[in-house]
Amino acid sequence: MDEYKKINEASAQIKAILNDNGCDQHVDTFIALGSGLGPFADTFEQSLKISNKDLPHFPTTTVQGHAGEIVISKINDKVCMFQKGRLHAYEGHSYNDVIRPLRIARNLGAKTLILTNAAGGINPSYSPGDLVLIKDHINLSGRNPLVGKNIDELGPRFPDLSEVYSYKLMNDTKKIAQDNKILVKEGVYIHVSGPSYETPAEIRMFAKLGADMVGMSTVPEAIAGKHCDMNILGISCITNYAAGIVNQKLTHEDVQDVAKKTMEKFSNLLNLILTKL
């Protein structure tokens, strides 16, 4: 089936569900929640949960720590759609599957895209628990989500990526963090395909390329979001030292544990962003 038709069918189903529940059928902001951060979407009253299984063309994640549902909440008269259960290409999903949720949100009117993730710290000044604003990225996955027939209704064949992450959103977030005594750093995120963690030699190479942190998500969504003219803010939670930085093995359970411990600080920042921006 044509990809744009899939987006329209899923959008129509979400609109019907919103209508049946007396909710606005328009979305302002789409937020993808990274590993361990899903519970943030449950902190708002007056929220509507929709299982991925109840939507057409909406695959379900297989990764522990990623619930398979979207949550729609109204925050200060703005409608936010949270993705609890990010999809990753390493699960076997196509890139169209991975980026379809944000495209659906854009089809419903969303102009702002907030991407969060758990990342490994490469920069020696980073420690587990740090929050880092993504100022740019390096796509080292060898793949691009826009390969194939361009969907002209969404964006141009050759989108400009000279400012993927909005300088304005990043500066506004830094001001909000400073005013509320929340320490945030900024850096370059390098995207790899996963699912294996990186080798120490790869991390040394990434550092020489200018990367501050590494992860297996976010970049495909950022490229797709820029393609359909969304204003993007990226925030990484440093959950571990990248391989070779310290002498310890990496596990997904440890990543989830640090994400949970950082949840309160991350939630406070996200809440302030959604309330004030």
Residue from 213, 240, 243, 259 carrying the catalytic annotation = 240
Verify whether residue 26 is a known catalytic residue: no
Give the whole-angstrom CA distance, residue 180 versus residue 177. 5
Residue from 11, 35, 107, 117 carrying the catalytic annotation = 35
Residue from 66, 137, 191, 227 carrying the catalytic annotation = 66
Three-state secondary-structure class, residue 270: helix
Verify whether residue 107 is a known catalytic residue: no
**Residue 115: HSE in the Cβ half-sphere, 13 Å Cα cutoff:** 32
Verify whether residue 35 is a known catalytic residue: yes
Residue from 3, 10, 69, 88 carrying the catalytic annotation = 88
Residue from 118, 177, 230, 243 carrying the catalytic annotation = 118
Verify whether residue 66 is a known catalytic residue: yes
Residue from 4, 8, 47, 90 carrying the catalytic annotation = 90
Verify whether residue 91 is a known catalytic residue: yes
Verify whether residue 90 is a known catalytic residue: yes
Verify whether residue 57 is a known catalytic residue: no
Verify whether residue 52 is a known catalytic residue: no
Residue from 217, 224, 230, 241 carrying the catalytic annotation = 217
Three-state secondary-structure class, residue 180: coil
Residue from 9, 91, 96, 205 carrying the catalytic annotation = 91
Can you give the three-state secondary structure of 54-83, one letter per residue?
A: HCCCCCCCCCCCCCCEEEEEEECCEEEEEE
Inter-axis angle of helices 263-276 and 167-179, to 10 degrees? Answer: 120
Listed residue (109, 21, 101) closest to 55, CA to CA? 101
Residue from 216, 230, 242, 259 carrying the catalytic annotation = 216
- Show which residues are catalytic: 35, 66, 88, 90-91, 118, 216-217, 240, 252
